[in-house]
Amino acid sequence: MATPSVTDELAEIRTALANERTLLAYLRTGLALVIGSISARELLDDPVIQTLGLVVGTLGVLALGTGVVRYSGTRAAIAAVMRGHG
């Protein structure tokens, strides 16, 4: 196969950076949900808020996990495509 052109290399870099930005968005969202959940559960004694805080915290942890899984999968896919071009 031909060596990757500068355009291909720049496209790979752009895609990798976009993947990292997406991971950071998942992390930011997940952490905000977890922190909000902890705050609500600590500051408010209402049983409904306690339950809602638990649900929101769980969603935050799921968002964190989803972000990591998607990042890893996309990173592997990018690497596989670039190996095919190189």
Q: Is residue 45 part of a domain?
A: yes
The sign of the dihedral angle between the CA atoms of 58, 39, 21, 82 is: negative
Q: Is residue 20 part of a domain?
A: yes
Compute the average pLDDT of residues 68-77.
96
pLDDT at residue 82, rounded to an integer: 81
Q: Where are the alpha helices (H) located in the chain, listed in sequence order?
A: 6-43, 47-85
In the chain, % of residues over pLDDT 90: 78
Going by pLDDT thresholds of 50, 70 and 90, the confidence category of residue 84 is confident
Domain that holds residue 72: 6-85
Q: Is residue 81 part of a domain?
A: yes
Compute the average pLDDT of residues 67-83.
93
pLDDT at residue 4, rounded to an integer: 66
Say whether pLDDT at 78 is over 80.
Answer: yes
Number of domains within the chain: 1
Compute the average pLDDT of residues 19-32.
98
Q: Is residue 1 part of a domain?
A: no
Q: Is residue 72 part of a domain?
A: yes
Q: Is residue 44 part of a domain?
A: yes
* Contacts of 20 by beta carbon, 8 Å cutoff, 6+ apart: 71
